[in-house]
Structure 1
Amino acid sequence: MVSVVELLSLVLVSLLWGCTNPLLKRGTRGIEAVARPSRVAQLLAEFKFLLLNLSYIVPFLLNQSGSVIYYYTLSTTELSLAVPVTNSLTFLCTLITGKLLGEEFGGKYAVAGMFLTTAGLTLCVMSSMDPSNQRKTHV
């Protein structure tokens, strides 16, 4: 059975990942202008660009903090619940945050996809909270 704390942890991870995805994309603007003659110099210049770019590094650190919380939550939560909940909510948060930042919404079926994703996620969570669905251990 999933606890409220585990469920809230998965929601927090989804928010951290989903809301930072469009911000990470936005933070990389201008990296294509970085040009160096060799591959190694190019790699180092791009790394420096990202490391010194606050509009990239702040969302990156928030995103990575979500990964730490996710790793910890996986130790106590069923994998069959954690993965679909986190991935579905991350997808929804990415779409909504992207839209708020002025990105394209994803076509005319995006709302239907969001509704179906939410419905499936709700069923997944409800089934894991139902005490009659618990495995019985035999001694």
Structure 2
Amino acid sequence: MDNLGNAFWLTTVAAFWGLTNPFIKRGSRGVENIKRDNSVRQFLAELRFLFFNWKYLLPFVVNQFGSVLYYITLASADLTLAVPLTNSLTFIFTSISGRLLGEKIQHWETYVGMAFVVIGVLLCVISKY
């Protein structure tokens, strides 16, 4: 697969990861209220809470599908492109989806940072040609 095709799939992975992060955060609300008398029971109660909570489980499964796609794409991708592209774009997608869900971005510097991340990713992709 060529670098442009890899960049597409790695961007797709970043979208799967980033777009699901705020939903996973929302779906896990309430897990901190679970209290059990020992660590094993605590772990099992938290696991049960998350596993039977579709608001957590559905975005988690989609997120893990992104991880499978990432693993498959790594077979043909250049690691110097794969890691920075997916990690930085995941941040962008997380910020955008969080904002769409009503989370506030507190500082204008966040938007400037997001622009720099996008420019940096574009430079990484262009430099591979």
TM-score range, shorter chain: over 0.9
CA distance in structure 2 between the aligned counterparts of 1:32 and 1:8, rounded to whole angstroms? 37
CA distance in structure 1 between the aligned counterparts of 2:49 and 2:99, rounded to whole angstroms? 26
CA distance in structure 2 between the aligned counterparts of 1:2 and 1:108, rounded to whole angstroms? 36
CA distance in structure 1 between the aligned counterparts of 2:108 and 2:7, rounded to whole angstroms? 31
Q: Equivalent residue for 1:15?
A: 15
- The superposition leaves residues 37-60 of structure 1 with CA deviations (integer Å, 9 ceiling, x where unpaired) of 111111100000000000000011
CA RMSD of aligned residues (A): 1.3
Task: Give the drift of 1:106.
Answer: 4.3
Contact 2:3 2:125 in 1 (8 A): no
> Structure 2-normalised TM-score?
0.95
What SS does the corresponding residue of 1:37 show, helix, strand or coil?
coil
Q: Which runs of 4+ in 1 moved over 3 A?
A: 1-4
Q: 1:74 to 1:95 in 2, by over 3 A?
A: same
Q: 1:18 to 1:106 in 2, by over 3 A?
A: farther
- The superposition leaves residues 6-52 of structure 1 with CA deviations (integer Å, 9 ceiling, x where unpaired) of 22211110000000111111111011121111111111000000000
Q: Equivalent residue for 1:115?
A: 115
Q: Equivalent residue for 2:45?
A: 45
Q: If you compute each CA radius of gyration, which structure gives the higher value, 1 or 2?
A: 1
Q: Which runs of 5+ in 2 are unaligned?
A: none
CA distance in structure 1 between the aligned counterparts of 2:91 and 2:109, rounded to whole angstroms? 14
- The superposition leaves residues 73-118 of structure 1 with CA deviations (integer Å, 9 ceiling, x where unpaired) of 1110100001111111111000000111111214220111011111
Higher helix share: 2
Task: Give the drift of 1:67.
Answer: 0.5
CA distance in structure 1 between the aligned counterparts of 2:28 and 2:51, rounded to whole angstroms? 11
CA distance in structure 2 between the aligned counterparts of 1:4 and 1:81, rounded to whole angstroms? 11
CA distance in structure 2 between the aligned counterparts of 1:25 and 1:54, rounded to whole angstroms? 13
Alignment identity in percent?
Answer: 47
1:62 aligns with 2:67: no
